[in-house]
Structure 1
Amino acid sequence: MPTEAGVYELSISSKIDYLNCRSNVIYIGSSKNLRKRTANYTGNKLKNKRLRKFISNYDVFVRFYLTESYSLIERSLLKSFANNYGGLPTANSIGG
Structure 2
Amino acid sequence: GPPYTLYFGIKFYAEDPCKLKEEITRYQFFLQVKQDVLQGRLPCPVDTAAQLGAYAIQSELGDYDPYKHTAGYVSEYRFVPDQKEELEEAIERIHKTL
**TM band (smaller chain):** under 0.3
TM-score (norm. length: structure 1): 0.25
Q: Whose Rg is larger?
A: 2
Structure having the higher helix fraction is: 2
TM-score (norm. length: structure 2): 0.25
